Chains A and B, each alone.
Chain A
Amino acid sequence: MNRTKTLLATTALTVAAGAVSAEDMANSMTIVSWGGAYQNSQLKAYAEPYAAMHPEVSISWDESSAEAVAKLRAMNEAGNITWDLVDVEAADSIRLCDEGLAMEVDVDEMLAPGEDGSSAEDDFGDSLISDCFIPQIVFSTTVGYRTDMVGDTPPSDICAIFDLETYPGKRSLNKRPPANMEWALLCDGVAKEDIYDVLATPEGQDRALAKLGTIKDQTIWWTAGADTPQLLADGEVVMGSTYNGRLFSAIAEQNQPIGMLWDAEMLDFDGWVIPEGLPEDRLARVLDFVKFATDTQRLADQAAYISYGPARASSAPLVGQHAELGIDMAPHMPTDPANATNVFVTQYAFWSDYRDDIDAKFQAWLAQ
């Protein structure tokens, strides 16, 4: 709604005007994230520099992102929002936005322009997948494999998952349909551009499940991103899907005999949402923080701690080396041109419509 936009813009202007006087901003902030290495990268790249600039601000962290959607709804119903900034996956941001639980964001007003001079909206580009989403990183769901269990012909094609003859042994796949369904159709001969059209039909869904059915009894279905790296490390599976950052740390940081595929990986985003209904002083502080934490340099800095790509185009040239290992991080980014020759960008609109329907069918199929 354009009216809403102007309205928001005026709010933001008021806030931006108020940003000069720090007294109007709250001095404490609760940020919700995923914990682990990812949260640590946010702490190092965003929070610590911000705290150095604003010593009066205390930031507390809550590792509740996995339940963020449900918790935000509960807080909203109770009328007591205790979080100021929440890190969520792109798909969740759509749901939060639809439910009116996240604040709509005027990207150009609230976020810093790119360091190369581009407007924030252009700099973030496709990653702005919902009105409430402030993108941070690009990650991909891809496939890792045991280098010592695939013989002399390591897989280079995503369809290796379905190739039990060349690569016998167990696989691990997500217990939720996204990525699995797309890959199944792709490997069943559906052209890449037709996949979501096919998947929208019951026949297409059955076709994807039938393809998955060929490896069903050889598959371990994972529920957490850490499962596949562990299963690979234990030799429980020969290959499995997970997030590229998890595979990077298993390969580069733990030196496991694991390789990874950069083929038909599902590109996805992770970013911030601001809960709807924050009091003015807290909102002012959050906006101040977010503007800082999502500028070109900060997003590039984060890549030194974890192998997820910055969501801004202008950050890519600034990506440097791993903070501890000293290796160049750019080649490990899902956004690196060499890695992104054949990618899927997750169709959020499709999944927000079909999630419930396909998930019910998928779970029923799993349980059979």
Chain B
Amino acid sequence: MTASTTDPEKAAKGPMLAADGTPLKKSLSRALRVQKLRALALVAPLLIFVLVTFIAPIADMLFRSVENQIVSDTMPRTTKALGDWDGTGLPPEVVFEDAYYDLFVAAERKEHTRLGSRLNYELTGASSLFRKSGRGLDELGEVYQDQFKDLDKNWDEAQPWAEMMGSDDWLAKEAAWEKGERLPKFELRDGVDELLPRTAEQYAAFATFTHNDDRKSLLKEEPWSAVHTALYQDLAANDYSGYSGPHADMLKAADTLVASPDFQTLPFKDGFGEIDKDWLEPGIWRTLKLYAPKYTSGYFLNSVDMKLTPEGVEARPQNERIYIMLFKRTLFMSLVITCSCILLGYPVAYILSNLPSRTANLLMILVLLPFWTSLLVRTSAWKIMLQQQGVINDVLVWIGLVSDDARLTMINNQFGTIVAMTHILLPFMILPMYSVMSTIPKTYVRAAKSLGATDWTTFWRVYFPQSVPGIGAGSILVFILAIGYYITPEIVGGTTGTFISNRIAYHISTSLNWGLAAALGSILLAVVLLLYWAYDRIVGIDNVKLG
């Protein structure tokens, strides 16, 4: 073979062939494919694990930070109608009408309060406004429901409604339905959606809810008051004297009733006003319009102390700005913690790496000892050490360094956080440093000395540069861990030593504003990646070794 590769005549004839005549490249790639597949099979469990537990949550977080479908999903008609509104004054009556029907269904599905909580992040008071409106909307519809009922009690019966709205085919199926079976899909009677367009739409919405959410027969359930409201609207808009479908008398009578001057009406706007006067303020409508899109930059803007307003993006008032300051503080303090870990950890790692392995292993257990104690216990121990009536202050007072009425404040501030977190994260610095240092052969130091370097020059020019990968690995570990810490800052940080992660935890577990938490988390992730990139540019990521 070696002879043939150098033979120009053979090489000129075409691609190299394997012994069986197939092109060599092809058979090589076939051989490699099997290897690749086997390698893939070996990493597959981990790959899936990482995908499920790591990549997917991060993707979910990124998605949540912009996702805002709840507004348009809960109030589809309203958000559409608000698109045509210019945003000045109050929206037209038609928007109130749409809001009525949207909220009515949402309230039945118990989704209105969820939307209220969502909008409360943007507009204080939205939460109780929506909670209150869920109850109030019923009353609005009852104005019509009661008048129709008084006219003919069949208007509050399930059967006549179903007969009027549903197709004969469907009615037969619905009548034959028995509990436990699948309910037959509701079908509108032919032409009823042209005859009574609003009523048909509302009845269909009611039918869907009753079938899907309640699993009840429409022949047993009387429609909700939104259907009566729609009926009133249809009757007021059209003439039904020519109607000849089922229950024609009933409908004609109702039409006459609506036409009479005695018939009580309540414009939607007034109805909303009765529920809560906040509905007659432009604020809630502008917020709804602003947050109507399925995706929003609102969470991210909040994360950087800005606000989405109809006029554009604005900075938040001075007394509500907190996140940028917290981001800066988190970065600064993580940096300080990383530096103090380097300063404290380097000599320890150096000594450990120069000791005989038996002693080094023993001392390494001491370094790892903190891992055996719960994080809370360690942090609480620092509290006892550092507080004003604590061990350190007591000792300082006892030896006379500090007077009893001027005890040092060492906890519930940045100092406390830095001390406690340096202690907790120190092993993460020492371990990579130690493992890198123990791979640096002693001969380098001897070589440097034999070349005439003093102890300091030897350390600084020869030993230290080789230990930098350990410092790099330790620093990245400690920094990234520190940036995401929240338990320790929460306990010992007071007001000036808390981190952005404390706010994220608050929004995850207390305020339930997961969108904002996700946006803050995404920014934190971006900052970490940015720093990682910067580290790579400045130091070089291949200059990071864990051992």
Contact = CB atoms under 8 A, between A and B. Distances in A.
A367 B322 contact: yes
A165 B178 CA distance: 78
A60 interface: no
A206 B319 contact: yes
B138 A367 contact: no
Contacts of B108: 1, 3-4
Contact of B389 (A104, A234, A366): A234
B131 A7 contact: no
B427 interface: no
Given A234-B389, A353-B124, A359-B511, A3 B224 contact: yes
Interface string A1-37: 1111001000000000000000000000000000000
B326 A367 contact: yes
Contacts of B135: 1
Nearest to A231: B387
Contacts of B510: 69
B340 interface: no
Contacts of B511: 355-356, 359
B107 A1 contact: yes
Contacts of B435: none
Interface residues of A, number: 40
Nearest to B213: A7
Interface string B114-136: 10110011001111100100110
Given A95-B117, A236-B387, A356 B513 contact: yes
A364 B320 contact: yes
Interface in B309-343: 319-322, 325-326, 329
Given A1-B108, A364-B322, A99 B495 contact: no
Interface residue SS majority, chain B: helix
A7 B216 CA distance: 11
A200 B429 CA distance: 49
Nearest to A67: B509
A66 B490 CA distance: 15
Contact of B114 (A69, A98, A364): A98
Interface residue SS majority, chain A: helix
A365 B127 CA distance: 24
B305 to A, nearest CB: 9
A70 interface: yes
A236 B412 CA distance: 12
B113 interface: yes
A215 interface: no
B397 interface: no
B473 interface: no
B110 interface: yes
Contact of B131 (A69, A98, A359): A98
A280 B236 CA distance: 46
B138 A1 contact: yes
A2 B125 CA distance: 24
A347 to B, nearest CB: 11
Contacts of B384: 234
Contacts of A235: 389
Best-surrounded residue of B107, B124, B490, B503 (most CB of chain A within 10 A): B124
Contacts of A352: 120, 127-128
B154 interface: no
Given A223-B491, A349-B128, A70 B320 contact: no
Best-surrounded residue of B117, B127, B384, B387 (most CB of chain A within 10 A): B127
B388 interface: yes
B110 A100 contact: yes
A220 interface: yes
B120 A353 contact: yes
A221 B494 contact: yes
A198 interface: no
Nearest to B121: A356
A367 B134 contact: no
Contact of A364 (B125, B321, B509): B321
A361 interface: yes
A360 interface: yes
Given A354-B124, A367-B322, A73 B512 contact: yes
A97 interface: yes
A7 B124 CA distance: 32
A363 interface: yes
Contacts of B116: 98
A324 interface: no
Contact of B322 (A99, A234, A360): A360
A361 B113 contact: no
A115 B453 CA distance: 92
A193 interface: no
A192 B310 CA distance: 37
B58 interface: no
Contacts of B319: 206, 361, 364-365
A2 B322 contact: no
A98 B513 contact: no
A357 interface: yes
B126 to A, nearest CB: 8
A4 B322 CA distance: 42
A361 B111 CA distance: 29
Contacts of B72: none
Interface in A314-368: 349, 352-357, 359-361, 363-367
Contacts of B329: 367
Given A69-B512, A236-B388, A220 B494 contact: yes
Contacts of B107: 1
Contacts of A357: 124
A71 to B, nearest CB: 8
B508 interface: yes
A257 to B, nearest CB: 14
Nearest to B491: A223
Contacts of A175: 495
Nearest to B142: A2
B496 interface: yes
A236 B124 contact: no
A367 B496 contact: yes
A363 B124 contact: no
Contacts of B322: 360, 363-364, 367
Given A1-B107, A99-B113, A367-B322, A70 B509 contact: yes
Contacts of A359: 506, 511
A234 B387 contact: yes
Interface in B377-436: 384, 387-390, 412
B214 interface: yes
A7 B512 contact: no
A236 B391 CA distance: 12
Contacts of B508: 70
A261 B317 CA distance: 37
Contacts of B138: 1-2
A354 B125 CA distance: 7
B389 A99 contact: no
A27 B214 CA distance: 27
A104 B321 CA distance: 37
Given A69-B512, A73-B514, A360-B322, 13 more contacts: A2-B138, A70-B512, A98-B127, A98-B131, A100-B110, A234-B387, A235-B389, A349-B131, A355-B511, A356-B511, A359-B511, A361-B320, A364-B322
18 contacts: A4-B108, A67-B509, A70-B508, A95-B117, A98-B117, A100-B113, A221-B494, A234-B387, A234-B390, A236-B389, A349-B131, A353-B125, A354-B124, A354-B125, A360-B322, A363-B503, A364-B322, A367-B322
Interface of B: 107-108, 110-111, 113-114, 116-117, 120-121, 124-128, 131, 134-135, 138, 214, 224, 319-322, 325-326, 329, 384, 387-390, 412, 490-491, 494-496, 498, 503, 506, 508-514
CB-based closest 7 A-B pairs:
A98-B113, A70-B509, A366-B495, A364-B322, A357-B124, A235-B389, A353-B125
